[in-house]
Each structure stands twice: as structure tokens, then as C-alpha cells.
Amino acid sequence: MSSCCEKPETTVVKATLTVALAGNPNSGKTTLFNALTGLRQKVANYPGVTVEKKTGRCKLPSGQWINIIDLPGTYSLISRSPDEQVAMEVLRGLRADTPAPDAVVVVVDASNLQRNLYLVSQLIELGRPMVVALNMMDLAEQRGKPVSAEALSRELGVPVVPVVGHQRKGIEHLKQVIAQAKVAPMPDWPLPDAMKEELMLVGGGLAILHDGPEDHESKDSMPTGNGKGGLLDRYKAIAERLLIGDRAGDLLSLSQKEPVTSLLKSAAGRMGQLGIEPMQADIEAHYRWIEQVGDRALGHVDGPKVPAAPEAEVRSRSWTERIDAICIHKFWGLLIFTAIMATLFVSIFWLAQPVMDGIDGGVSWLGAQVASWLPDGPVRDLVNDGIFAGVGAVVVFVPQIALLFFFLSILEDSGYLARAAFLMDRLLAKVGLHGKSFIPLLSSFACAIPGIMATRTIESRKDRLATIFVAPFMSCSARLPVYTLLIGTFFAAYGPFKQAGIMLALYALGIVAAAGTAWVFKRSMLKGPKPAFILELPTYKMPQASQVARSVFTNTKAFLTKAGTTIFCLSVILWAMMYYPRMPKSHVEQVEQQASLHNQDVDTAIAGEQLRYSVAGRFGHLIEPAIRPLGYDWKMGVGLVGAFAAREVFVSTMGIVYSVGDVEQEATPLEDAMRADHYADGRAVWTPVVALSLLVWFVLAMQCMSTLAVVRRETGGWKWPLVMLVYMNALAYVVSLAVYQVGTRFLHG
Amino acid sequence: MRKFCTVESCNQCDDPRTCTLNRLGIGCCGQVHSVGGDMDLRRRLLEMGFCNGANVEVIRRAPLGDPIEFRLRGYHLSLRDEQARHVNILPASR
């Protein structure tokens, strides 16, 4: 705080101004936010909702620092989605976690003026000081429709700054103008006269409510503009929201107070008689105003509107339309789509693998190095097998996540993501999913973690939840070692083609389960009015390297800090379960004797016996009665516990249980041990039917704590991961049970 | 059932109330007459600019037949058939 005595003129200015950045999706808002704030950004979540909260700091030419809140991109402020709700609440200063903005910067896409001005028309009604950043002026000029910033500024009554976000043009000018933000005068919306009268009546009711003897506290949320007329305008604006049925935020409580309630009721009755529907009349009036403002900003003179029909014939085809003629062509479009998706898939499936192996090796090497400094004992094992393995379990996902967000941000920034959704929507709509579910589901074949993170591109919450929910059914790369081991061991006699057939059938089973689940869920838990599929196909743009890098960085960082901590904790707990309690000394000596008697490796034998002795081993025995009907014995139970760390751990856990040493070096001893394993009555523990039942379990069961951790982060709570855990494991249990029971009847009956 | 109206027969539609956006042929233009459907869908369509007799041009259908791409107020958007059928259109005379 500077002393007020020395610089009296600075006392008027608040220490830090808060500026909200609003705008349509695809208006270049993010680019502008990055240009304004540089690297001084913070990404968090709005408490209670899964909407990302991005804030940043920016230094104005005057030397003053301002805080910028990047609101979610929205087409409207009438809340339907969590995004719109958050944007509306922040703008009206209703969120306790966010300071009410002192000014609003609206990003307007000059090449798509009318629809962008709709949001502006809603912002005007909020009565906050405003600046319009007229973005993509270059594109508008290319199209021969340059927007006059001066004319638009005259029409709106607020400063309008032309900018080209990706070239950083106009940014400095915008910074200068932010301090000169003005409250826009309330336009006289061309509403039907009857509705104007009702607005006056309800507005008057609000005035009575607020200007009563007691000073109402929520008066703050209605800035007064200029004078008495401005105040009435604000009341009319609120009356408008109430009349069109908006009950978000404090509007609900306002609508329940007298005299507002009865005024609204009689207004609705009178307008119903006249056949006026307030919501429709309101939007139409806004657009009528927009058409006039837009025409003037485009330099069209007032007067009768040019008959618009010939427009389509006259205009030349834009770049975007030319690209689209190929990119969403019936044949070439699908070919290009397949090629892009194949590249994406191959990258996260194979390209990431060596890096992941490298990380895996590096972390365990590091763990071993650190551990060698420590004395033998639990602390050393905790550091090596608990902490470092836990860190490895988190970091190992980084290459896939980074690669995925690399591709995803290129696809999204270029505008192709919307086309991909357009191409695939038909296929996914059949089971109640969204065109944008395709990439998350495809990525989930590599790993559900990046797949679930990729659902962030889906705006509708219901569609997003449904996609998250079915993503783990896609056979991920961690299931492959298990598939390979079991198919290779128990179906070797069937020949390579039938083995490949089994493998394909497992992948297909996952897809069928996902489709069925999505279909059922959209009709049960996520029931309700279907979110409308309204997909903008934005202009193609060249992705910016800096934006791509930023997206990769922030998303990877978010994973490490948010989901990573949960994964780490769970993997340490899992380690402890497989480590404690320790065998008593006498027991160890016994095992040593036995091992040397049978010519076995002593360490392997001890490791196997210790696992059997641990909580996890006992847990395997404990759940044996439950998994018995599926054909599993307690050893497989222990394997399933181990698989919770990552599915492929099943293989190494089986290696320990069967005391065959490091199966990563050579799998044959494990295969032999599994084939040779018999129950006391002489029956084989492992039969092809048991293997099949276990394979089905691995396809359908939710046994990946990392996935659960990411679902928790993405859905903002433990509810969905728990529903997922129960549902998937119940489904897996029932289907595996059916496979084993039917299978044994057929083969032995 | 009336077939999709084609470019040639675009101005043959004599009853505007029965011509909905999903039935307009590829390459056809029309003016928005009214928007139906439930409250939420109607609000969204109106807010996206399907109002005041705005001009809509049908650009294409997706390779699998649905959704449909439109050009409206200088931008492109796509709707599923089931949503486009709620937009009533006055086919433009050519």
C-alpha cells in the first residue's frame, strides 16, 4: 500500500483491479488471455464444479497490476451448463471464491460478428464497465467484411479495440484501454410493447423491494450506472432475466419475494394471452438490435435491409470451406480422419512406450541407488518398492499424457476437432454418446488415463460423464501382458490364428460392454432431457506452437499434482499390503531349508512365501470363497490385488506367488508352473475355461487405481469413481461367472 | 413422406409449415420461420441465431448421413437431424 499522503491521486485507484475475460468459444479468447498474461497464470478448479478456473496477472502501461479471470467460453449467460453458470456467477459477483470483476473484457470474433454480439448484448445488461476486444480482424478483412471499431464503439458506447491475438497485434493498446472501461448504456431492446410494459412493472416491483427503508445488501450486485435512470435500467435488466425464466443464482430468491412473485405471475398470464413467449421475444429483440448494430459496424448505411438471399450465391468460398470440401468429404474426409486417428493412436500406443520404459527403468534405478545407501530392512524396502515405485507409477503416464495433449491441442486449435466430432457423431449418437467422445475412447485403447483427460473437450456434462464412464472398458495397453500370458499359456494348442481371434474377441467385448453401458446409463443415471448437439464448425486456424506447448505443460502438470498424489498414496498403501506383516524368523528359516532341499532359488522362495504371508496374500485367501465360483483360487486373488496397482502387475505378482523369479526376463517358468499347478484333489488349477473367465474379468473389471484417481479429479469427487468401481466389478463378476459356469458344464458335462 | 427437397425443387415447397430444416436439400437456402422443440432446445437454437428470418444454407451432411452442416449469420454449425427438424424454414425463392 502506498502512502496516501505522498500521492493523493493514486488513492482513487484500487490496489489491484480484477478484470473478467469473457467471450464465445472459438473467439480466440485463450490466445488473448495468454498474450495478456504471459506466463503469469494459475489454473485451478472452481470449488464444487468441474469448471477450470484460469487466472493471470497483467501489468498495465500505467504500471498498475491487474488480475485477469479467464471465464469459460460461452455462447450465452443464461445458465444451462456448469460453464455458463460459473461465467454468469463470476460476472455478477456471486461466487465467494472469486472477487466481483471491476471490468469485463469481451472478446468478439470480428469474422462472426452477429453471434458474438449476442453475448455482448447480455453482458451489457450486467452493468459492469466493459471493453470490447475485436479479435480476428485479419480474417474479417480477408472476407471483405472489415468491421469498423469506431462505429462499433459508437453503437455500444464502450471502447472497442481491434486486436489480432495470435500476432499479438493491438495487445498494448488493449492494455491501455482496459483502465478506460465504461458501463454501456442500456439499449432500448426492440421488444414487443406489451413486454416492455411488463418489464417496467416488474422492474418497479424490484425497485420497491430494494429501495425500501432498509438498505438491502445485495444492492452491491446491481451497480448503479449513472443516476436514477441507470438504476431503473438495471432493475429492468433483472426483470428481463426473471421474465424469461432465468432463475440462476440470486434470481431464484428474488423471484420468490413479494411483490415480484405476483407481478411475474400476472405478467406471464397477460403475455400468454397475447401469444408472446418472453424467452423467444427477448432473444429475437436482442438479435434485431444486433442486426442493426452489426450493419452499422460493417459500414452498411441505415435503411431497408439488403435482401439477403443472393448472399450465398455471390460470396466466394472461404479457405475454410475449401478445406472442408476435402476434410469432411464422404470419401477423402473419412480417409483423412482415419489417417489422423491412426497417427494419434500409434503415437500414444507405441511412440510413448520406449520413453515410458525409460522412465520406469530410470526411476527404479534411482530407487535402487538411494536404497543402497540405506540399511537392509523395512525403511529400505519402503523407499525402493514403496516410494520410488509409487513415483514411477505416476511419472510413467507423463509421456502418453504429454503426447495426447500435444495432438489434442493441435486438433482443437486448428479447428479439426469439431470436424472429427462431426464425422463420428452418427456412430456414437446411437449409444447416446457425442461425436467428441471418439478421441477419448480411442485414446483409452492405449490408456484410460489420457483418454479420460481428453474428455475435457466435451462441453456437455452428461455426455462427458457417459464418456468417462465407458472409457475404462476399452482394452488398454496394460491389459495386453495379461492377455498374452493367459492366451499364450492356455490356448497354445489352438494355433496362432485362433489365438489372435481370442485377442480380437476380448477387444470387441470391451467395446460392446462400453456401448451397452453408455446406452443403459443415458437412460438411467444420466436420464433427463438430451443435451442438444449444437456443434460450431469454426474457421480453420494455424495452431500456435506456444499454445500447444502451454497446453501440454499445464495438463501434464495438472495430472502430476492432482491425480498424481492420489495414485502415489494408493500405490504406497498397496505396497504395504503386500509387505506386511513380515514372516517370523523361524518361518523364514523353514522356507530356506525347504528351498535348498528342493533345489530352488532361496530368495525367490522367500519372496513367494512372504507374499502369501502378507495382508494381500491373506486377502487372497479371504476372498477365495467369493471368487471360487469364477474358477479362481487364492493365488489369482492375490494377483487381482496386485493388479490394482496396474493391470500388468498381475503377471509379476503371479511370478512371485509361484516363486519362479523375475518373469520379465523369461515367462516360460511361470507358464510351466501355472500349467503344473493342481488342487489337492488332483484337478488342474488352470484350465482354458478358468483362463477365459479371468480374461473376461480383465476386460470388464475396474481394477486400476490410477483410473479411479483421474476420474475423481475430472468429476470433482469420489461419487463417480465409486459408482464406476462397483458397476464394472459387478458386471465383470457376473459375466466371468457365466463364462466359467457355462464353460465347465460344456467341457466337462 | 416428402423426399429431401433438392436444389431444383427448392422453391416448389408450397406449404412452409411443413418444410423443416432437416428436409432442405444440400445447397438449399431458406429463411427461418419459427423454432419448435422443448424449451431448452428452442432457447439454444434461438441464441445461436435461428431467429428473425435469418438465412440458412444447407452445406452438407456428414458422410454417415447425420449431422447436417449449416451456414447461418456468417458462420458454420452442425445440428443432428432430430434437432434440425424443429426449425421451420421458408425455402428461399430463386
Average pLDDT over residues A222-237: 63
Q: Provide the edge-to-edge strand list for the sheet that holds B29-35.
A: A534-536, B75-79, B68-72, B55-61, B29-35, B87-91
Query: Using alpha carbons only, how large is chain A's radius of gyration in Å?
Result: 32
Q: Is A529 at the interface with chain B, CB within 8 A?
A: yes
Chain B contact for A292 (CB, 8 A cutoff) = no
Q: How far apart, in whole angstroms, are the C-alpha atoms of residue A223 and residue A308?
A: 40
Q: Helices A545-558 and A398-414 sit at what angle, rounded to 10 degrees?
A: 140
Q: Which of residues 135-154 of A touch B (CB under 8 A)?
A: 145
Alpha helices in A179-226 (DSSP H): 193-210
Q: Which amino acid is at A268?
A: A
Mean pLDDT of all residues in A197-217: 73
For residue A529, whether the previous peptide bond is cis, meaning omega lies within 30 degrees of 0, is no
Neighbours of A350 (CB within 10 A): 11
Closest CA–CA distance from residue A309 to any residue of chain B (Å): 7
Report yes or no: A291 at the B interface, CB cutoff 8 Å.
yes
The cell for A450 is: 489420457
Is A456 within 8 Å of A373 (Cβ atoms)? no
Angle at A146 between CA A143 and CA A149, to 5 degrees: 155
Size of interface A-B (CB pairs under 8 A): 125
What is residue A250's three-state secondary structure?
coil
Residue A18: pLDDT band (50, 70, 90) is very high
- Which residues on B lie below 8 Å from A75 (Cβ)? 47-48
| DSSP SS3 for B59 | strand
From A254's Cα to the closest Cα of chain B, the distance in A is 22
Predicted confidence at residue A377, as pLDDT, reads 83
Pick the CATH number of B14-91 from 3.90.230.10, 2.30.30.90, 2.40.50.100, 3.40.50.150: 2.30.30.90
Q: Label residue A130 by pLDDT band (50, 70, 90).
A: very high
Closest CA to A546 of A166, A62, A131, A262: A166
Q: What is the 3-state secondary structure (H, E, C) of A332-344?
A: HHHHHHHHHHHHH
Q: Which residues of A touch B64 (CB under 8 A)?
A: 423, 425-427
Query: Which grid cell is A464?
Result: 462427458
Residues 6 or more apart whose Cβ sits within 8 Å of residue A67: A16, A17, A18, A19, A55, A56, A57, A99
The more confident residue out of A218 and B62 is B62
The domain locations on chain A are 8-183, 193-294, 317-474, 570-748
Q: Which CATH architecture has domain A8-183?
A: 3-Layer(aba) Sandwich (3.40)
A318 at interface of B, judged by CB pairs closer than 8 A = no
% of chain A residues with pLDDT over 70:
91
Residue owning grid cell 427438424: B85
Among residues 439-498 of chain A, which lie with CB inside 8 Å of chain B?
none
Q: Kindly indicate the confidence band of residue A9, based on its pLDDT and cuts at 50, 70 and 90.
A: very low
Q: What is the ipTM of this complex?
A: 0.89
Q: Among partner residues A112, A333, A429, which is closest to B63 by beta-carbon distance?
A: A333
Question: How many Cβ atoms are within 10 Å of A237's Cβ, its own excluded?
Answer: 22
B14: distance to nearest CA of chain A, Å? 18
* Residue labelled with grid coordinates 431497408: A304
Cα angle: B73, vertex B76, B82; to 5 degrees? 105
* pLDDT of A616 over the 80 cut: yes
**What's the pLDDT at A199?**
87
Residue A740 grid cell: 466359467
Candidate from A617-621, A662-666, A740-744 with smallest mean pLDDT: A662-666
Reply yes or no: is the peptide bond before residue A304 cis, omega within 30 of 0: no
Looking at residue B16, its pLDDT comes to 53
Kindly indicate the confidence band of residue A695, based on its pLDDT and cuts at 50, 70 and 90.
very high
A335 touches chain B (CB under 8 A): no
* Higher-pLDDT residue of A250, A749: A250
Kindly state the cell numbers that stand for A197.
410494459
- Helix (H, G, I), strand (E, B), or coil: what is residue A156? helix
pLDDT of residue A97: 84
Domain ranges of chain B: 14-91
Residue B90 contacts A, CB cutoff 8 Å:
no
Is B80 part of the contact surface with chain A (CB cutoff 8 Å)?
yes
Confidence bin at B56 (pLDDT 50/70/90): very high
Chain A interface includes B25 (CB < 8 A): no
Q: Which residues of A touch B48 (CB under 8 A)?
A: 75, 115, 534
What is the model's pLDDT at position A219? 42
Q: What percent of chain A has pLDDT over 90?
A: 33
User: Backbone phi, then psi, for B71, in 5-degree steps?
Assistant: -120, 130
Would you place residue A666 in the very low, low, confident or very high pLDDT band (cuts 50, 70, 90)? Answer: low
Q: Which of B49, B62, B63 sits opposite A115 (nearest CB)?
A: B49
Contact A328/B76, CB-based, under 8 Å? no
Judge whether residue B17 has pLDDT over 70: no
Cβ-proximal residues to A41 (8 Å cutoff; 6+ apart), any chain: A33, A34, A54, A55, A56, A554
Q: How far apart are the first and last CA of chain B?
A: 24
Residues A304-314 pLDDT 10s: 444 444 444 44
Please state, in angstroms and rounded to a whole number, the distance separating the CA atoms of residues A341 and A511: 17
Do residues A316 and A410 lie in contact, with contact meaning Cβ atoms separated by under 8 Å? Answer: no
User: Whole-model pTM?
Assistant: 0.84
What the block records as the C-alpha cell of A156 is 455500444
> Grid cell 452499422 — which residue?
A296
Name the E strands within chain B.
29-35, 55-61, 68-72, 75-79, 87-91
pLDDT confidence of A221, banded at 50, 70, 90?
very low
Average pLDDT over residues A704-728: 92
Across the interface, do B40 and A309 touch by the CB < 8 Å criterion? Answer: no
Residues 47-76 on A with a CB inside 8 Å of B are 75-76
The per-residue pLDDT of chain A, averaged, comes to 85
Interchain pair B62, A328: CB under 8 A: yes
Using a CB-CB cut-off of 8 Å, the residues of chain B touching A423 are 62-64
A79, A189, A283, A316: best to mutate for the B interface, most B CBs within 10 A: A283
